[in-house]
Structure 1
Amino acid sequence: MARFIYTLAVLTLLPWAILHLLWRARRQPEYLRHWGERFGMFGAVTPAPSHEGIPLRITIWLHAVSVGETRAAQPLVAALRQRYPDHRILFTHMTPTGRATSEALFGDSVERIYLPYDTPWAMRRFLHHYRPQLGFIMETELWPNLIAACRQEKIPLRLVNARLSQRSARRYARFPALTREALRGLVAVGAQSSDDAMRLEALGAQDIRVTGNIKFDIAVPDAQLALAREFRLRYGKRPVWLAASTREGEEVLVLDAWKRVMRSGIPLRDGAGDTAALLVIVPRHPQRFDEVSRLAAERGFVVQRRSDDTPVAPSAQVLIGDSMGEMFAWYASVDVAFIGGSLLDFGSQNLIEAAACGTPVVIGPSTRNFAEVAREAIACGAALSIGDADDLVTQVNVLLADAERRRQMGDAGRAFAAHHRGATARTLELISREAR
């Protein structure tokens, strides 16, 4: 009965979903593409890629909602390819940026589509069309009709790299019967932390193991390190700090706080000279690149953009990182990194990549999405916590003036990332022998 009521609600909301796609397409025209997939309508099955001349079967399916989940899947994809070299991999996404990320990371070696909206018939068409032998949902996306369809078709589905904040747990707890049915339809759950496992178990999940965070297993690509060196040459000798994956409303706070410091006559500088620091802002969502560039210019900053593909002018004060797939390079090229999504109540973005690059991390008060990771990074000295934008600018200024402390934080970050590796191997232990 709970799932029947849920299905009626989904049907009622489908017209709104269409309006939502049209609204989002104002900024991201990609939302106008592949609509049929979102409603369970697929064309002919594309010819399967081959391995040593033998066609690969589509048997392994990973659902990664957007950018973060897709990037997190990299070590798992590599491990699955090694274990099942004769199997084809299918990605499903919900956002154009997630789809673009899988294309940038994996190219034509995987197939990618949008996951249909969660109606029983659309999910059945999806499963009958692609016929996966096993599936993985990255992090936490519970689609009751999808899970029920997998169970009916005897397709083992696992929730991996699972995380569940207290806020999300409270939301799921409002629909106890529906949530319990969905969680018990999974054959196994690999949780990032003991806190995540406890909250999932309280909601009804079974066969839960704490496998850790797969994001710790992502190696810094050599190409990104080379690009970081190129970025560093473009900056010149000036100190550089990064506001990474910022969300709407945060850039204004950061820019205004920096402006106040600069007007006070104490601009951000390194400890040895009088070269004013460069602020790099990389917004979380690409449709906001123009908006953030405009916000900086309106405040009187001299703005340059990554897409200019030229050395940063000595007069430039703000560089907008208007690129996709270069976050490792940004982290590895700067002296200090602030993690966006943490200054306002967004729950924070992932700090693991910055720590793995050996870059000192500054993080705001909102860390619910990565609460345990943030606590441990702060405790080991890889990161420090700030309360607001003025505190952020003050602490960044202190770090830029103290090379030894930056070195210590960077070393702590690398050690922190290395200590937590191994989640991919533990996740693979959740798989029996369904894919053969």
Structure 2
Amino acid sequence: MLEFTYQLAISLFAFLIKFLAPFNAKIKLGVEGRKGLLEKLEHSFAALAGNRPVAWFHAASLGEFEQGRPVIEAYRNRYPDHFILITFFSPSGYEIRKDYKVADYICYLPVDTRANARRFIRIVQPRIAFFIKYEFWFNYLRELEKTGTSIVSFSAIFSKNQSFFGPFGGFFQKMLRRYSHIFVQNQESVRLLTEIGISEISMAGDTRFDRVKTIASQARELPEIASFRNQAFCIVAGSVWDADMQVLIPALNALKGKFKAIIAPHEIKREEIEGWRAKLGGTSILYSEMTDGQPESFDYLIIDNIGMLSSLYRYGDAAFIGGSFGAGLHNVLEAATFGLPVVFGNKSYHRFQEAADLIQEGGAFVVRDSNEVKQIVSSWIQDSEKRLEAGKISRNYVLSKIGATERIMRKVEELMG
């Protein structure tokens, strides 16, 4: 009965996204990107892949891709002659990483209907398939199992409120039993899976720690950002949404003149950004407006492009992480790896293990409103030793967690024979 319900829901989903596409730009990108995809693959994939073994990596979106990137690149180094296919579910991943050079082919994942899954697996014929973090697709997993493909999930994390552990968990547990191996982030996930009889599991940790270590080592020097900062105390507000800025702006205004801020929106919306600038009490400049003039004379620099954030943190003294007052907390590790203390809102951090860990250890701080943002930033400005100690905790936390990629690759080598 549950399988019938799943198949019906997937078919309804496929219909709905086509119906909604004209009214939503993001959905439209996904629908257009999938149009004719299987036909295109049927005509070209075999010739592209040749006789090379195919390794298929699937990521829901950009965040999961970045989480999986260390494993993708380690796989490429270990098996340089294999064909790497990457699929995305969301346009926010595909559109930004569709030209990623490590992969041989990148496309959307067709919706998980029986027919799509059967056809896609028949065309691609992967030797090994990787699903990053939360991706569990019933029909794809069943078709992969039928073909004897090794199936790996990594950086997965489980909690007792997930469907796998509920009253109808039997159906969802079928998906887990199809994996050749599941690499999880924490001991709680090991316990939950063990209790339902899943044995092919290992606690490898989170590959994002390996990724942010690499990011830190490869961070670009940005002389224009250094010029803007000009020795002043600087806070980087990373991946912020409007809900974050409504809390952050009053705190920034209350401390005007005591520091500078680099503001990197999660999405570039011109009207929204202009609205923020109108509310900010100090002077602001867009990154696209910077010239060789006097960027140091401005209080706020707003980044109106995508892709710079990971290199911006090196110019900060502290970081405010966006998404925490609404959409969902974004990556705190990119800031922590540069030795920055981090602050974020109290509404959406609870399901992020690293956020909870950093709070407990003293590298991260939770705020409820603008007044608390003002208090914590003011304390960092006034007490540099306190700030530096919190930043040291953040950096050491990241360094203590690296190594998941190596543990995963050892198992992959076993599965590949």
- Judge same fold: TM > 0.5, yes or no: yes
2:111 & 2:190 partners in 1: Cα distance? 27
Matched, 1:78 2:73: yes
Q: Which residue of 188, 200, 203 corresponds with 1:195? A: 188
How many Å separate the matches in 2 of 1:237 and 1:47?
A: 56
* Distance (whole Å) between structure 2 residues aligned to residue 189 and residue 46 of structure 1: 28
- Change over 3 Å in CA distance of 1:151–1:254 after alignment to 2: same
Secondary structure of the residue that 1:209 maps to in structure 2?
A: strand
- Does residue 255 (structure 1) correspond to residue 249 (structure 2)? The answer is yes
Q: What do the CA deviations read for 1:257-295 (whole angstroms, capped 9, x no partner)?
A: 433x2xxxx4361xxxxxxx22222223x3x43243133
Distance 2:270 2:262 in 1: 14
How many angstroms apart in 2 are the aligned matches of 1:358 and 1:295?
A: 32
User: Does the aligned pair in 1 maintain the 2:55–2:83 contact within 8 Å?
Assistant: yes
SS, match of residue 292 in structure 1: helix
Counterpart for residue 135 of structure 1: 129
Query: How far does the alpha carbon of each residue in 1:294-345 deviate from its partner, in whole angstroms, 9 at most, with x for none?
Result: 330342554422233536745544332232222221211111111222234x
Cα 1:225–1:205 change in 2 (3 A) is same
Instruction: Name 1:358's counterpart in structure 2.
Output: 339
When normalised by structure 2's length, the TM-score is: 0.88
* 2:230 paired residue number: 236
* Structure 2: stretches of 5+ with no match in the other structure: none
The one-letter code matched in structure 1 to 2:13 is: L
Could you tell me whether the CA contact under 8 Å between 2:380 and 2:386 is conserved in 1? Answer: yes
CA–CA distance in 2 between the matches of 1:223 and 1:425?
Answer: 18
1:208-357 equivalent positions in 2, closer than 5 A: 208-218=201-211, 219-221=213-215, 224-228=218-222, 230-259=224-253, 261=254, 266-267=255-256, 269=258, 277-284=259-266, 286=267, 288-301=268-281, 302-310=283-291, 313-314=295-296, 316-344=298-326, 346-357=327-338
Q: Which residue of 1 aligns with 2:120?
A: 126
Match of 1:207 in 2: 200
Alignment partners' CA distance in 2, 1:308 and 1:48? 46
Equivalent residue letter for 2:309: M
Task: Sort the Cα spacing of 1:343 and 1:42 in 2 relative to 1 into closer, same or farther, 3 A.
Answer: same
TM-score by length of 1: 0.84
Partner of 1:397: 378
Map of 2:91 onto structure 1: 96
Give the Å deviation of 1:205. 4.1
Displacement of 1:141 after TM fit? Answer: 1.3
Closer, same or farther: CA 157–109 of 1 in aligned 2, 3 Å = closer
Q: Give the aligned residue type for 2:277.
A: A
Count, aligned residues? 413
- Rounded to whole Å, the distance in 1 between the matches of 2:36 and 2:189 is 32
Contact kept? 1:144, 1:178, Cα under 8 Å: no
Separation in structure 2 between the aligned mates of residue 350 and residue 203 of structure 1, nearest angstrom:
31
- Letter matched to residue 358 of structure 2: A
Query: Does the 8 Å CA contact 1:214/1:423 hold for their aligned counterparts?
Result: yes
Deviations 1:229-281 (A, max 9, x none): 5422233333221221224522222224433x2xxxx4361xxxxxxx22222
- Per-residue deviation, 1:93: 0.5
Contact 2:216–2:338 under 8 Å retained in 1: no
Shift of 1:433: 4.0
- How far residue 160 of structure 1 moved from its aligned partner, in angstroms, is 0.5
Instruction: Report percent identity of matched pairs.
Output: 25
CA distance in 2 between partners of 1:336 and 1:49 (Å): 47
Verify the 8 A CA contact 2:318 2:341 in the aligned structure 1.
yes
Name the structure 2 match of 1:42. Answer: 41
Rounded Cα–Cα distance in structure 2 between residues aligned with 1:354 and 1:368 = 18
- Within 2, Cα distance between the matches of 1:107 and 1:353? 22
Cα distance, 1:279–1:47 mapped onto 2, change above 3 Å: farther
1:61 maps onto 2:43 in alignment: no
- How many Å separate the matches in 1 of 2:296 and 2:139? 56
Question: Residues 199 and 296 from structure 1, CA distance in 2 versus in 1: closer, same or farther, beyond 3 angstroms?
Answer: farther
* Superposition pairs of residues 396-435 of structure 1, within 5 angstroms: 396-435=377-416
Q: Distance in 1 between matches of 2:226 and 2:164?
A: 44
* Cα distance in structure 2, aligned partners of 1:411 and 1:387: 24
